[in-house]
Amino acid sequence: MSERFNKDMTFSQALQVNPQGVASVLREYHLGCIGCMGAQNESLEQGAQAHGLDVEELLKALNAIPE
């Protein structure tokens, strides 16, 4: 399985790949990044760190979203 999501993607880029699936995962991790101004510039890694989350765990969940 190829990884569609990586730590350097912005939240906005991730949401463009699969809006509903990504939004669902972000909600599971209590990340309100959908409406956040930082979503345009903040990478998944930066956001995870800012919220005390493991970026690898977040990426695993995102990459498990069915295509």
Give 34 or 67, the one with higher predicted confidence. Answer: 67
Query: Where does the pLDDT of residue 32 fall: very low under 50, low under 70, confident under 90, or very high at 90 and above?
Result: confident
* 10 beta partners: 43
The type of residue at 18 is: N
Q: Looking at the predicted structure, is the pLDDT value of residue 1 above 70?
A: no
Q: At what angle do helices 55-63 and 19-28 cross, to 10 degrees?
A: 140
| Other beta carbons less than 10 A from residue 4's beta carbon | 16
Domain boundaries, the chain: 11-63
41 pLDDT band, cuts 50/70/90, is confident
Domain 11-63 is of which CATH architecture? Orthogonal Bundle (1.10)
Q: Are 8 and 42 in contact (CB under 8 A)?
A: no
Instruction: Tell me the C-alpha to C-alpha distance, in Å, between residue 57 and each of 15, 34, 35, 37.
Output: 17, 19, 22, 24
pLDDT for residue 9? 96
Full-model pTM: 0.87
